[in-house]
Structures are given as C-alpha cells and as structure tokens.
Amino acid sequence: LPVIRSQNSPDYTPDAKFYKVEAILRPWRIQQVSSREKALLKMGIRGVTVSDVRGFGAQGGSTERHGGSEFSEDKFVAKVKMEIVVSKDQVEAVIDKIIEEARTGEIGDGKIFLVPVSDVIRVRTGERGEKAERMTGGRADMSVTALT
C-alpha cells in the first residue's frame, strides 16, 4: 500500500511541481532584492508579483508607532509582499537569495511562506505546467549560454 501521510503527521509536506515563494519584506529592501544586477534576475527569475501590504508581527508598531498599545489599525506596518512562482528545484535558491538580500538582522525583516502550486497557466497561449512556468530570459535560456 502507498504511504498516505495525513496533515497531522509531522513529516507531511504537500508535494508539488511548482511552489509560490511568498515573502513579506521591508519596502525599502525590495529594490535590492529584485534589481537587475543583483539577486533574482541574475538567477533567471523573470516573473514576480509585488504588492504593497500592511502587516502586524513581532515588530508591531515599535518603529512606526503612532501611540496606543492595543492590536489596532495604527500598529500595522507597511510591508511589501513579493510572490514568485518557480519550479520545485528553484525554491531553495530563491529563498536563500531573498534572505541574503532582505536581511538586516533587526526585528521586522519579514517572513517567507512556501505555498505548493498545482498548476501554472499562461493566458496568452493556454499553455500549462512547465511550458507556462518557463519564461523568456529565464533559467532554461540561461543554461544555453552556460550560466547554469
């Protein structure tokens, strides 16, 4: 019989071909994470979605406090959410790179969530799966020019 892991099992990890790396980061660090010379573009990452968000974590409103000590609207801190869908074998490299570029060591550096993604569909062509995930100038193109 196949081993079926329940979500209550400590070693349960949803397996997927693609994952979304969802990083909540300091807004002023985003430039460094995504800039062309550095980081992600250099690794062949071409598809990224960024949104302005507001969040509450250990940082609370400690550096941007407007007064008040309750869990209230004025304690939410401006953050940027960066979402990158990649194939499974790119996940760890992307996470390492984001940490390397986004970390200051101070409270409020952010958090990364790893989300299994069941499919990728390119709207223009209707392509699915690997074909849709692959991008012009991405890793597949780079390896042709021996960048790996």
Residues that bind ligand ATP (CB under 6 A): 47-49, 83-85, 122, 124, 135
Residue by residue, DSSP assigns 63-75 as SS--S--SS-GGG
What residues contact residue 118 under an 8 Å CB cut-off, 6+ apart? Answer: 16, 18
CB of 77 to ligand ATP, least distance (A): 23
Beta carbon nearer to ligand GLN, 20 or 108: 20
Pick what 38 binds: ligand ATP, ligand GLN, none; C-beta below 5 to 8 Å, kind-dependent: none
Beta carbon nearer to ligand ATP, 21 or 77: 21
Question: Is 117 in contact with 19 (CB distance < 8 Å)?
Answer: yes
CA-based Rg of the chain, rounded to a whole angstrom?
Answer: 18
Residues linked to residue 79 through DSSP beta bridges, in sequence order = 53
Question: Is 74 in contact with 67 (CB distance < 8 Å)?
Answer: yes
- For residue 84, state whether it binds ligand GLN (rule: CB under 6 A): yes
CB of 140 to ligand ATP, least distance (A): 13
Length of the chain: 148
> In terms of Cα–Cα distance, which of 78, 77, 79, 89 is closest to 21?
89
Selected from 23, 30, 86, 120, the binder of ligand GLN by CB under 6 A is 86
SS3 content of the chain, % helix, strand, coil (to 5): 25, 25, 50
Stretch that binds ligand GLN, among 22-30, 39-47, 59-67, 110-118 (CB under 6 A): 39-47
Pick what 49 binds: ligand ATP, ligand GLN, none; C-beta below 5 to 8 Å, kind-dependent: ligand ATP
Pick what 34 binds: ligand GLN, ligand ATP, none; C-beta below 5 to 8 Å, kind-dependent: none
Q: What residues line the site for ligand GLN (CB under 6 A)?
A: 44-47, 84-87, 90, 133-135, 138-140
